[in-house]
Amino acid sequence: MKMDESILSMCLYFTANRFARSMTKIAEEVFAKTGLSPTYMYILVIVNQYPGITQKELCEKLSIAPSTSTRFINKLEKESLVQRRVKWKETHIHLTENGVNLCEDIDKYFYEFNKKYTSILGEERSHDLAKALYESSEILKKEE
């Protein structure tokens, strides 16, 4: 193996980003039918599972910055999929009727996404990789 290939293949930063780009491409193809990028779909899923979730809690669950969540929520509000409700000093996020209707179809998109990458990677590798990445992310998060 050439030196540059070894450096790239053994670099966690490079390989993780390379993998993320490949997964993003697959997710964007599947979720394109909704007119939303994959990140928006995950936000809708979380808000659907936790009605009235605070913006802070949403940021924690998705590991995103508050400013990033604000941009995402603004777009989802503009699309009439979520609404903000302020209680005391906290902003709570709720699905609109349109958001609820979209969430009824979300499972089929996630199933299609899972089926697509699983058919490429294999079920066991997909499961093991997701578990290893999640656990590793949790370890790194503790060090922040």
Domain at 3-143: CATH code:
1.10.10.10
Query: What are the residue boundaries of the structural domains of the chain, listed by start?
Result: 3-143
Given this model, what pLDDT does residue 71 score? 95
Q: What is the maximum alpha-carbon separation in the chain?
A: 61
d(CA 24, CA 114) in angstroms, rounded, equals 12
| Cross-strand pairs, 84 | 93
Sheet holding 53-54, edge to edge: 53-54, 90-95, 82-87
pLDDT of residue 58: 95
Counts of helices then strands in the chain (DSSP H, E): 7, 3
**What pLDDT is stored for residue 11 in this prediction?**
87
φ/ψ of residue 82, rounded to 5: -135, 165
User: What is the model's pLDDT at position 141?
Assistant: 84
Chain centre to alpha carbon of residue 135: 16
Which stretches of the chain drop beneath a pLDDT of 70?
1-5
Q: Whose CA is closest to 94, among 42, 44, 60?
A: 44
Assessment of whether the complete model's pTM goes beyond 0.75: yes
pLDDT at 3: 55
User: Quick one: pLDDT at residue 5?
Assistant: 67
Contact 95, 76 (CB under 8 A): no
